Structure 1
Amino acid sequence: MTSHVWSILNSRKSLWVKWIHAHKLKGRRNFWDVSLKAGSTWGWRKLLQLREVIRPHIKYLIGDGCTTSAWFNNWTSIGPLCKYITYRDITRAGLCLDATVNDVLANGRWKWPVAWFDLLPVLINVTPPVLRPSVSDVITWYDNNGKDSGFFAYSTWETIQFRKPVVPWVDIVWFAHSIPRHSFHVWLIMREKLKTQDKMKQWDVSGSTNFNLLCCSLCKRGPNSHQHLFFECNVSLQIWSLVRPLMGFHAVPNRWSDITSTLLWTSKPNLAKTIIAKLLIAASAYYLWQEQNSRLFSPKKDRLLNCVMLLCLLSG
């Protein structure tokens, strides 16, 4: 989506960009103050909603000042001037909303009223640029460190993506030798996002369903949950008892939190034994979830022990 905005701003030679300028912008130089109308298409609405995310990273380097909007483009050290100067102030001063940087300069000085500096002291920091008649204005992309990184898919994504702190269990889920579908399943377990019966109970707003009748399809002893399935259920405990010796986890309890804590504090995460342990835990949890779903929704049952025995043989 950002690349589409970049094409619009740079007037890339394409039929779509020409159509946008003709029918959406309707000849206007400025993309940043286009209003979002109720009947806008999904794509155009998303492009306009993206503006506030990418605007701080798109900066204009002034050459002749003939293509950069004086009010709406990000070319000053304080950002777009429209954040400080209202439309009414601009028109009252006899200036045009479509004015370029070149239009508001005369002999190296600003054309706007001197009174603005008293009303808006922040304008004192805006130094008049030195115009170069033979050089065109240039649009650049700045990363989070304020560096001109150029507009590329990778650098752009690294700049605008939403980031959270790295979770401590990341190496338990994602590692070089992991099986993707097993790792994804472990990731769901770590975030408690599997559709277990205790989660489903929270969804029933009307209360028309009697969730007290639900029970674990493996042990038939009450509703299942993440804690129950991995590995506190009687059936899953049997699986854990088979797998645990292969990993050297003889003293580790059958609770998921204890298992992951043991892996988390392993001093040598790249050791072959540790990698095998992570593979076995991920595979056991994956097939355990598959088996409980199979017992709920299909006639095929009792495949779990066969899968686990196969895992034991392979790891042995």
Structure 2
Amino acid sequence: MTSHIWAILNNRESLWVKWVYDYKLKGRSFWDIPLHSGVSWGWRKLLQLRPNIRPHIRSQIGNGMDTSIWFDSWCPSSPTIQHVTPRAIASTGFSMQNTVADLYENGEWKFPVAWYDLFPVLISLPSLHLQDRSDSLLWRDHLDRDMNYSSTNVWDTIRHKGNVVTWVNLVWFPQCIPRHAFHLWLVMRKKLKTQDRMKYWDAGSETNLRLMCCSFCQRGLDSHSHLFFECEFSSLVWNEVKSLADLQHLPNQWEAIVSWMIAQQQQNTAQIIIAKLVLAAVSYFVWQERNNRLFSTKKRSAMALVEVIKYTVRLKLLSMRFKNTNRVQHLLEKWKLPRRLTFDNG
């Protein structure tokens, strides 16, 4: 939507932009168009975006002929329509369509002298050096840096930014399996709909949460910590696969596992990549098996689940290449992978 606005402000050569200028703007500034009821959905969305993006669109003055003196942002005090009333503009003989070039001549502004008392902000308007080139628009990011327009820059500027989490590279890394990574993201944020969280919800009279229990061991409510991997079933699965990533030294406690993995997550070694793949795969398939047992009659044994995890991770490893080191050879042998997956260090 911002790209459409950018096309309008730049008067891009297109049939749609010409139609907007003829039938929507009709000689007025895009920033000055009122939002009436009954307008089309698309046009309404464009107009509603103006407060969000207006602080980030700046006009770089060239000859001053394409920049509105009243409505565009071209200096720290602009847009000047915030300070000068339309009545004053009309009574002085100026027009709402005036450009910067219209009111600047021979290094001086053409404002009436009385305006400097009525609108003191005009005193701070800068002196300009008009040049023989067209005005241009720049995108200003949240750090007040001017840059060329791109969808990437716009999104990075206007999106909501949360605090950087310590586990980001544990969940999202180039070799991750996307569906596993998304699930692990939910686990890290403790957003899975486990029974310990559901008991605080209004489940209705037909649901007796006191009868709910872990679908694996039938001992108490399942929770993030119980499922990963304090439950006897999931603990057995974890114990069977963690040695394949040289993680046999880690306990069956989620917080301890994650703490160790976070400390190692920046490393790009084969062992750490495999460890992250294994952790995500185990949590994904344990959760999948938990849901199968709750909502269907399907059941798999712990060893069957281990085989699915090994098969899935092995397929991912077959698409990767590793440096030819003794440690890598050791890991490849554990996963029964061919030597051709390695390449010389040089």
Could you tell me the TM-score, scaled by structure 2's length?
0.78
SS, match of residue 218 in structure 1:
coil
Q: Secondary structure at the match of 1:140?
A: strand
State the 1:247 CA deviation.
Answer: 3.9
In structure 1, give the amino acid aligned to 2:64: G
Matches within 5 A, 1:12-161: 12-25=12-25, 27-91=26-90, 93-132=92-131, 135-144=133-142, 146-161=144-159
Shift of residue 114 of structure 1?
3.1
2:275 aligns with: 277
Evaluate the alpha carbon distance shift between residue 303 and residue 28 of structure 1 in structure 2; reply closer, same or farther with a 3 A threshold. Answer: farther
Give the aligned residue type for 2:177: I
- Whole-angstrom CA distance in 2 between matches of 1:265 and 1:293: 31
CA distance in 2: counterparts of 1:135 and 1:237, whole angstroms: 70
TM superposition shift of 1:66: 3.1
Cα separation, 1, equivalents of 2:173 and 2:79:
44
Deviation (angstroms), 1:144: 4.8
The equivalent residue for 2:176 is 178
Q: In the aligned structure 2, how far is the partner of 1:290 from the partner of 1:93?
A: 73
8 Å CA contact 1:291, 1:303 repeated in 2: no
Partner of 2:195: 197
- For residues 126-165 of structure 1, what are the alpha-carbon distances to aligned partners after superposition, in whole Å with 9 as ceiling and x for unaligned? 1243445x64333333445555532233344444443334
- Structure 1, residues 71-108: CA drift from partner, whole Å, max 9, x if none? 11011233322333344454455533332223333554
Deviation of 1:70 after TM superposition, in Å, equals 0.9
Give the RMSD, CA atoms, in angstroms.
Answer: 3.0
Q: Number of residues paired by the alignment?
A: 314
Q: What secondary structure sits across from 1:265 in the alignment?
A: helix
Map of 2:237 onto structure 1: 239
The Cα shift of 1:182 comes to 1.0
Runs of 4+ aligned structure 1 residues displaced above 6 Å come to 205-208
Report how far residue 285 of structure 1 moved.
0.3
- Secondary structure in structure 1 of the residue aligned to 2:43: helix
Change (3 A) 1:172 1:59: same
Distance 1:189 1:92, change over 3 A: farther
- Separation in structure 2 between the aligned mates of residue 215 and residue 312 of structure 1, nearest angstrom: 28
Distance across 2 between alignment mates of 1:89 and 1:210: 71
Structure 1 SS opposite 2:59: strand
Question: Aligned partners of 1:202, 1:98: CA distance in 2, in Å?
Answer: 60
Distance 2:52 2:222 in 1: 42
Q: After superposition, what is the alpha-carbon deviation per residue over 1:215-267, rounded to whole angstroms, capped at 9, x for unaligned?
A: 33222233322222222223222222323444444453322222110111238
Which residue identity is paired with 1:175?
Answer: F
Matched residue type, 2:5 = V
Greater Cα offset, 178-187 or 29-38: 29-38
More displaced, 269-278 or 147-156?
Answer: 147-156
Match of 1:9 in 2: 9
**Closer, same or farther in 2 for the Cα pair 1:248/1:66, shift >3 Å?**
closer
> Compared with structure 1, are the counterparts of its residues 267 and 167 closer, same or farther at alpha carbon in structure 2 (3 Å cutoff)?
closer
Q: Distance in 2 between matches of 1:138 and 1:306?
A: 64
In structure 1, list runs of 5 or more residues that go unmatched. Answer: none
The equivalences for 1:157-168 within 5 A come to 157-168=155-166
8 A contact 1:287–1:304 mirrored in 2: no
Q: Distance in 2 between matches of 1:116 and 1:223?
A: 73
Three-state SS of the structure 1 residue aligned to 2:32 is coil
Structure 2, unmatched stretches of 5+, are: 315-330, 335-346
SS at the partner of 2:280?
helix
Q: Which amino acid aligns with 2:215?
A: S
- Separation in 2, partners of 1:251, 1:181: 27
Please give the alpha-carbon distance, in whole angstroms, between the structure 2 residues aligned to 1:24 and 1:59.
Answer: 22
Which letter does structure 1 place at the counterpart of 2:45? K
Q: Report which stretch shifted further, 187-196 or 147-156.
A: 147-156
Cα distance in 2 for residues equivalent to 1:32 and 1:303: 64
Between 176-185 and 304-313, report the one with greater CA deviation: 304-313
1:189-212 deviation line (CA, Å, top 9, x unaligned): 112222323444445386774433
Alpha-carbon offset, residue 281 of structure 1:
0.9
